[in-house]
Structure 1
Amino acid sequence: MTDNSIGTLQQLRDPNYMPALHKAVPLGIQHVLAMFVSNVTPAIIISGAAGFGFGSDAGAQGFPDMTYMIQMSMLFAGIATLFQTVGMGAVGARLPIVQGTSFAFIPIMIPLVAGKGVEALPALFGGVMLGGLFHAFLGLFIGRIRFALPPLVTGLVVTMIGLALVKVGIQYAAGGVPAIATPEYGSLLNWSAALVVIIVTLGLKFYARGIMAVSAVVIGIIAGYIFAMMVGMVTVDGIMTSMSRSASFSLPMPFIYGFDFSLAAIVGFCLMSFVSAVETVGDVSGITKGGAGREATDKEIQGATYADGFGTAIAGIFGGLPNTSFSQNVGLIAMTGVMSRHVVTIGALFLILCGLVPKVGAVIRTIPIEVLGGGVIVMFGMVVAAGVSMLSDVNWNRRNMVVFAIALSIGLGLQLDPKAVQYLPDTLRILMTSGLLPAALIAIILNLVLPEELSAEATEEVSGGLASQDDGAIQSVSS
């Protein structure tokens, strides 16, 4: 779809421009396809980590299961997107920003719910709600804290998020997480379903154009789903049974899981809000630069941060997970050249409609975990790649290498061996074993307190003399 077929260049750069409906609707659905799998995946991961949702009878016990959490992911992604595009007072940037469930909080949420079932959810959603309110509070001074989060810190955090999640992708592709693994775990059949998704996704990403390339992950999972049906991993009867147990229409219920205060959850969500807020600032700037050729205004950045926070807080009340702006949709705006916020509003309405129809979530729930694993491997690998891309903007002098090395070593080490801090109090242990928070805090603190340039002697032991050798080789070549 070319720019000229939709409107003039000046119109396309105007957030208030509304293309003809027959063009706006496909563009809006295109935004949904770009983020759909990423949006529902956190709900599937968290419910799986908690030990319910995959073939469980949680719903029969009177508790909403994975289907409900998927439903809330769609519903409140749509509502939070409306906050951004339509706005409400000071809330919202009035820009084409697509909101969705954030990957960033998954490493924080997994230790909170791991193996604890629905009993862990009151504290989890209490943390989501209060963390969202804190996130909104950051909107008052978001511009003044950006100095503490340069690419060295944000790149490290994004990379750590991806590294924390790639294990989940491998486990899903092999047949499930430990709580739900079967004797067939790691079988060729399981991996073949995941590989179908990966191969189709890569093929579309590299060789397709337009909407096919944008929705490559969705189409890849559909291909994997068809393969799973062909080999008997999922049956039509199973799909129909799942749909028959779900209502055709359902409204969300406030505090359906109950509500509780957990210091670990509250502190974890509040600290991660800093990272999420800076991510949103970057997305807003990317949209205005790529779509309108200008810098984002302070009002737009503040409004976007408010929408992030209040969208998350409201989602937490109804059993939804934290929301943030989706970067893949920023790239889609640059690709289509359509800056219209009304196009994204149409996509938001489509998400809300899906969220009000539990049968949509019921169908998603029937996707075999191995098929989802193929998509997750691609998505989480891209998170790591995005972090590495951000780190490419860092000036890799001795000082920054030390900051990165210490933060990564401690954060990743605690992720790999949680028992290393098993004697800490519960709250501190949960925060430390996420790996992400200690890495982020160490990087922020060291970046603020260490001098801009460390002496060669101060880093010689860390670098092993490699930097000095490289410097000498460079000098020899230049002379």
Structure 2
Amino acid sequence: MAVTHFPATGEDNPPSHAGLMTPEQARDPDYFPGFAVAVPLGIQHVLAMFVSNLTPPIIVAGAAGFGFGSPDPSALIYMIQMSMIFAGIATLLQTIGLGPIGARLPIVQGTSFAFLPVMIPIVAGHGVAAMAELTTAAIFGGLFHTALSFFVGRIRFALPPMVTGLVVVMIGLSLMRIGVVYAAGGVPAQGTAAYGAGTSWLLAGVVVVVTLLLSFFARGIWSTAAVLLGLVAGYVVAAAMGKVSLGAVAGAGWVVVPTPFHFGFSVSVAAILGFVMMGFISAIESIGGVSAICENTAGRSATDRELIGATCADGVGTALAATFGAMPNTSFSQNIGLIAITGVMSRHVVTVGAVFLILCGLLPKVGALITTIPIEVLGGGVIVMFGMVASAAVSILSGVEWSQRNMLIFGVALSVSVGLELEPASVAHLPETLKIIATSGVLPAALIAVVLNLVVPGRGRSH
């Protein structure tokens, strides 16, 4: 699940670039507006997704035990670089395409939040060694996702807004604790006097306040990149307080070369099953993104070719990224909103942004600089992003007809999934594979809701 962050809109904030071309050109994915327009708009797309793209690998590394503040940040730096490189490559698959792969639309790809509830239990406390199981499972999940893309139209009936909205709710609920832990000082500080100190919450608060002010009152790129600029503000305050060390930057190399199976290859049935099951949700998310772009900007419905191509690129992008040690990919909804604001649907604009993202990913010093961000500062940004995930769920669920049937299905699925996540010891006697699935929050919610929605009479009313 990508974090949704839409720039401020209104009559006083009209599309500033669409006016340079005719309405037909602005709605044409194949039209190239020239580099004078494409370069700034492409970079703006990168700024809109930059923080969200890097947050999942940082969270996974932190859960595994080699995150911020670890003695050797090299593995985290590598993951950050690969997240940029393969988000760019996956975006190129969408915009340029390769055979049946790609929608040939301005779709920005990035690392997915949706898989975090599945990934965290796999790596929790197991260090870098656990990354072999995770990336191997992501490869299998990506391949399954690719195969699923050719049947995606046939399974949409099983995932109405009530089900997908519940899944997004569970993603948000599963991750919110992470933001608070980070803001209070991070996992290394837990159990010490430093945890929850006023200075920690001050830094997180600066990020939240600056992000909100820019989102509400700024215009253009200042609003689009609000989370990123909020992190910059928190970083500056932290540096003034002496909480920033640039030692990792000095020790990082200048160029990184992606290496296949960087973390090794290790098969875990539980991990693979988790990734395969999440592939259903990710596929539907891609369909929603493509439909939104075509309907809101082009004024038409998405074609079957575009839907299949977009979902296929999701799966191929995920498998390819995992092969080189990166996280699963998905389409980013904040960039869909950005297209609606600018009024420019050119896929070549997003291609320019993807190239810029790949260039950043090839420079390890960029990743090293990101690892110098104090965990409290990152916590402020994470609080905002995961709050937006929950807000996106409310938006999805607002279109559901809340009959007694739907309320019961939603309530039972929510109650069981949240309860199991809060009390994992309640299923301690299950096999390890089922234990991971049962306590992930997202997967039991999806399974219960899908099954009940299919077997309980009156299914049509849940749409």
- TM-score computed with the length of structure 2 as normaliser: 0.94
Map of 1:403 onto structure 2: 409
Structure 1 unaligned segments of length 5 or more: list them: 455-479
Map of 1:13 onto structure 2: 27
Map of 2:95 onto structure 1: 85
Question: Given the alignment of the two structures, is residue 40 of structure 1 paired with residue 40 of structure 2, yes or no?
Answer: no
Identity of aligned residues (%): 61
Q: Is the 8 A contact 1:33 1:215 kept in 2?
A: yes
Map of 1:22 onto structure 2: 36
Q: How does 1:43-62 map to 2 (within 5 A)?
A: 43-58=57-72
Q: How much has 1:414 moved relative to structure 2? A: 1.1
Q: Is the 8 A contact 2:453 2:459 kept in 1?
A: no
Question: Given the alignment of the two structures, is residue 426 of structure 1 paired with residue 432 of structure 2, yes or no?
Answer: yes
Is the partner of 2:327 in helix, strand or coil? coil
Map of 2:5 onto structure 1: none
Map of 2:358 onto structure 1: 352
Distance in 1, matches of 2:332 and 2:266, equals: 29
User: Taking structure 1 as reference, are residues 291 and 453 closer, same or farther at Cα in structure 2, changes over 3 Å only?
Assistant: closer
Q: How much has 1:56 moved relative to structure 2? A: 2.1
Q: How much has 1:427 moved relative to structure 2? A: 1.1
Question: Given the alignment of the two structures, is residue 195 of structure 1 paired with residue 205 of structure 2, yes or no?
Answer: yes
Question: Given the alignment of the two structures, is residue 143 of structure 1 paired with residue 153 of structure 2, yes or no?
Answer: yes
Of residues 68, 79, 82, the one that matches 1:72 is 82
User: Taking structure 1 as reference, are residues 307 and 4 closer, same or farther at Cα in structure 2, changes over 3 Å only?
Assistant: closer
Distance in 2, matches of 1:367 and 1:396, equals: 44
Q: Is the 8 A contact 2:30 2:346 kept in 1?
A: yes
Distance in 2, matches of 1:364 and 1:68, equals: 12
Partner amino acid, structure 2, of 1:19: P
Q: Is the 8 A contact 2:59 2:67 kept in 1?
A: no
Question: Given the alignment of the two structures, is residue 173 of structure 1 paired with residue 206 of structure 2, yes or no?
Answer: no
Of residues 324, 329, 335, the one that matches 1:318 is 324
Distance in 1, matches of 2:23 and 2:45, equals: 20
Q: How does 1:237-248 map to 2 (within 5 A)?
A: 238-239=245-246, 241-248=247-254
Question: Given the alignment of the two structures, is residue 308 of structure 1 paired with residue 322 of structure 2, yes or no?
Answer: no
Distance in 2, matches of 1:394 and 1:289, equals: 20
CA RMSD of aligned residues (A): 1.3
Q: Is the 8 A contact 2:146 2:313 kept in 1?
A: yes
Q: How many residues were matched structurally?
A: 446
Structure 2 unaligned segments of length 5 or more: list them: 1-14
Is the partner of 1:232 in helix, strand or coil? coil
Of residues 338, 341, 358, the one that matches 1:335 is 341
- TM-score computed with the length of structure 1 as normaliser: 0.91
Q: How much has 1:420 moved relative to structure 2? A: 1.3
1:78-129 C-alpha deviation (Å, 9 max, x unpaired): 0000000000011000000000000000000000000010121111011110
Is the partner of 1:324 in helix, strand or coil? strand
Partner amino acid, structure 2, of 1:102: S
Q: How much has 1:453 moved relative to structure 2? A: 7.9
Partner amino acid, structure 2, of 1:280: S
Q: How much has 1:177 moved relative to structure 2? A: 2.5
Q: How much has 1:46 moved relative to structure 2? A: 0.2
Q: Is the 8 A contact 1:398 1:453 kept in 2?
A: no
Q: Is the 8 A contact 2:113 2:171 kept in 1?
A: yes
Q: How much has 1:320 moved relative to structure 2? A: 0.5
Distance in 2, matches of 1:299 and 1:334, equals: 22
Map of 2:11 onto structure 1: none
Q: How does 1:103-252 map to 2 (within 5 A)?
A: 103-177=113-187, 182-234=192-244, 238-239=245-246, 241-252=247-258
Distance in 1, matches of 2:37 and 2:16, equals: 11
- Structure whose CA Rg is larger: 1
Ranges of 4+ aligned residues in structure 1 off by more than 6 Å: none
Partner amino acid, structure 2, of 1:111: P
